[in-house]
Amino acid sequence: MGYTNRGKANAVIRRMQITYLNRPKSVAIGMLALVTFLFYTATTQPQGKFQAKGSTPVAAKSQTAIKIDGEKNIYEDPNSLTKTERYQSLGMKGATLWFTGLSGSGKSTIGKKLEEVLVRDYRKHTYRLDGDNLRFGLNSDLKFSPEDRKENVRRVGEVAALFAEAGNVVVASLISPYRVDRDEVRRIHREKGLPFFEVFVDVPVSITEARDPKGLYKKVRAGEIKGFTGIDAPYEAPLHPELTLKSAEMDLEEEVRTVIIELQKHGVLTATDDTPSWYPALIPPDGGMDWAPPAYSTYSSAAAAKFPQVLLNDIDLQWV
C-alpha cells in the first residue's frame, strides 16, 4: 500500500483518527503509528522503481558500444561492474605473472609451487596457465614455427588478461622466446589497466640441458627435434623484467617468496587501491606478508618452522 499525494495521506490519517477514537487506547496508538509510517513512506519515497536506503540511482545502461567491428558486425558490451567493485568483493586484485625462460629452467616448477602457496596459505584466487598444458586444448592446432609461437603467446596473453580482470593472480609459464610477443601481452594488460609482471627465470642453457627433465635436449642432440629454443632456435631474454630469478642459484622456497613479496609490494594481495606508505614495516591486510624488519625477528626461519602451526584465515585474524 502506498500513496503519492500528501493531501490523500492526511485525509486517511483524519479518518483513522475518527474511526478509532472510541476504541481501546492501545489499538488506537498502534493504528496511528502504522498510518504515520505509511504517510512518511508516501511523502518521502521517490516515484518509480523502489530504491534501497543508501543506494544511488542506477543510470540506464548505455547502448553505445566502446568497440565496433563493422566488417564482422560485432560490438563490445562493457561490464556493469568496475574492477574496483570486483576486487573489493574478493579482497585482492587481479594480476598476471608471466614466467619466461628456456625449457628446463624451472618455470613450471616455480609456477606450481607459487599457485599452491597463494591458494593454501594466502587464500588468494590463483590459476596457472602452463604452456604445455594449453597445447593439449586451447592451442592444440599450433606447432612451433615462429608464426605459431606468436599466436600461442597471443592467445595465452588474452586468456591471462581475462582471468586477471576477474580478480585472479595468473601464473603463466611459457618459453615465449620473442620479446615482441611478450611486449604485446604486456600491452594487452596495460590497455585494460591490469598489473603485469614479466618474470625471467634466468638459467644458462648448459644447466637446462644438464637437467633435461623431459628428455627434449637429448632428442635435439640426436636430431629428432628441430627448431628447439636455445639450441637451433633463438631465445630473446627480457631486457627489463620486473623480476629475475636465478634458478640455478636459488632454492624453490626463495623463488616463491621473492615473487610473493613483489606482489605484496604492489598491493596485489589486498583490495586497497594504494600500497600503504608504511610498507613493509607493518603487516598489510587481506593476506599480509610473512616478512618482518630484522629488529623484530627473534627466530630464524628454520627454528620457526619447528613451532606448532595453526591454519588461520582473514576472519580468524580479526580476533587476534
Among all residues, which ones are annotated catalytic? 176
CA distances to 33, 99, 134, 166 from 137, in Å: 66, 20, 5, 22
CA 203 to chain centre: 29
Take residue 18 and report the three cell numbers written for it: 475518527
Pairing type for strands 243-245 and 126-130 reads: unpaired
| Dist. CA 313–CA 270, nearest whole Å | 14
Q: What DSSP line would sit under 87-124, residue for residue? A: HHHHTS--EEEEEE--TTSSHHHHHHHHHHHHHHTT--
Largest CA distance in the chain: 107
* Residue type at 3 in one-letter notation: Y
Q: What Rg value do the Cα atoms of the chain yield, rounded?
A: 30
CA–CA distance, 72 with 13 (Å, rounded to integer) = 63
C-alpha cell at 200: 625471467
192: left (phi over 0), alpha (psi -120 to 50) or beta: alpha
Type and span of the H or E element at 37: helix 25-44
Contact between 255 and 248 under an 8 Å Cβ cutoff? The reply is no
- For residues 193-219, b (16+ Cβ closer than 10 Å) or e, as one string? ebbbbbbbbbbebeebbebeeeebbee
Please state, in angstroms and rounded to a whole number, the distance separating the CA atoms of residues 202 and 228.
17
